[in-house]
Structure 1
Amino acid sequence: MRRPLATCLLLALPALAQAQAADAPAVSAAGSLLQVFVGLVAVLLLIAATAWVAKRFGIARGGSSSLLQVVGSASVGARERVVVVEVGESWLVVGVAPGSVNALTTLPKGTLQPPASPISGAPFAARLQQLVEKRREK
């Protein structure tokens, strides 16, 4: 008697599994894609917000120290630069190229003065008016 009962149960299992599968809601591919897209947008917004907060509050990048500061730099070629670095009470002028950094000279610590330009003293509107008048004279 146990064998026919076990056989009936084994035959009924696929029918029970099919009935449970019919009751379960179908998973929508569009719903899954929408969920992934919303998650991706949320992560990107979180990264952007973190970068904005770091920039806003001046959070320094790792590796920066108060002992060494870049005073200024100028490009002298496609990939070459001359950089003035403040170290303690002196300035080092170094040449930077791909794969090399060479010390050019050492200077005593100084103060920065803005470069003199003919336009810097005059407001934009006044300088524009001067240029227009010069053009009319020609």
Structure 2
Amino acid sequence: MRSLFVILLTLWPLVSQAKESLNAEGQPLSSADWLSWILSMVVVLIAIGICAWLAKKTRFNAFGNGQMKVIANLTLGTRERVIVVQVGQTQYLLGVTNQHIELIDKLAEPLHGDSQTPSFAKQLNRILKGNGR
């Protein structure tokens, strides 16, 4: 919201200067035309923000071509987590933060079960039901 306010403040001189311009009939543009234009720009910027937020929150596992999988994921804090990653037949326990990824241990006994990353349909159903995490 703050960045939107900054953008509007930087564009305001352009809007006020362009307000004096003429429309297709040679008449000055009305305030309603400019209000419509500004509201349209705000809607577009909000839509871009929502799309960026959704892309960040929905981390679909589309990488690795099936050679690497996240087997288990445990959130420890707001930005810290412990994950089990399988590469080939070997599983590794990793500690992940914003700035660092550290190998904690190579698992001697691999984890099994239905703990693999769910498919797109399962993740979408969880998000729609409100259990996105």
Higher relative contact order (CA 8 A, sep 6+): 2
Specify the structure having the higher radius of gyration (Cα): 1
Greater helix share, structure number: 1
- The answer to whether the superposition gives a TM-score over 0.5 is no
Range of TM-score over shorter length: 0.3 to 0.5
Q: TM-score, normalised by structure 2?
A: 0.44
